């Protein structure tokens, strides 16, 4: 003998609404941007400090950047490479890590630095046109005494 439970229309509506909400939450979670797979790296130097920076050189790579990443090594970063010098602006809407950012000229000189808060829409811009932007863990530049005017080393900067 099979027993079939009937539900009142109100109870059935609540049940279906609950299923719909659960599906909506699952779809929203699925729609969140995923972290970018690790990118090729380049060795950079700041004084006596070595940096291993992933290189984001395509528009898609630059758009995703460090979004949704939950960790980054002490001397690791991401170097954003643009086709031509322009005033570059960055924000942190889907970035979970607090970061420091250096805007860098073609010769490797740091133009200006900024500290960025996770999940913020605040813009941080270069004070003049640059082709390179380096993101590191928050405080990395300050802890190592790197400031505007200092020169970074590495193949992107000619040596």
Q: Domain range holding 145?
A: 41-157
**Which residues, other chains included, contact 149 with Cβ-Cβ below 8 Å and sequence gap of 6+?**
109, 110
Do the domain assignments include residue 25? no
At which residue do the structure tokens 């929203």 appear?
A: 28
Query: How does residue 29 score in pLDDT terms, banded at 50, 70 and 90?
Result: very low
In percent, how much of the chain has pLDDT > 90? 76
The domain total for the chain is 1
Do the domain assignments include residue 152? yes
What confidence tens digit (pLDDT) does each residue in 121-134 have?
Answer: 999 999 999 999 99
Residue 80 CB: number of other CB atoms within 10 A?
24
CATH of the domain at 101: 2.60.120.1140
What confidence tens digit (pLDDT) does each residue in 44-100 have?
Answer: 999 999 999 999 999 999 999 999 999 999 999 999 999 999 999 999 999 999 999
**With 80 as the cut, is the pLDDT of residue 14 above it?**
no
């Amino acid at each position: 003998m099979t027993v079939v439970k009937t539900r009142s229309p109100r109870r059935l509506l609540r049940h279906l609404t609950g299923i719909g909400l659960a599906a909506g939450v699952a779809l929203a979670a699925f729609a969140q941007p995923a972290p970018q797979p690790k990118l090729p790296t380049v060795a950079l130097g700041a004084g006596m400090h070595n940096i291993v920076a992933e290189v984001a050189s395509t528009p898609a790579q630059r758009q995703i950047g460090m979004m949704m990443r939950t960790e980054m090594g002490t001397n690791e970063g991401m170097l954003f490479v643009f086709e031509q010098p322009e005033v570059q602006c960055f924000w942190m809407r889907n970035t979970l890590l607090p970061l420091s950012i250096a805007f860098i000229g073609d010769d490797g000189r740091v133009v200006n630095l900024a500290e960025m808060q996770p999940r913020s829409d605040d813009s941080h811009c270069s004070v003049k046109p640059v082709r390179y932007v380096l993101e590191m863990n928050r405080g990395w530049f300050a802890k190592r005494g790197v400031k505007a005017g200092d020169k970074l080393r590495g193949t992107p900067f000619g040596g």
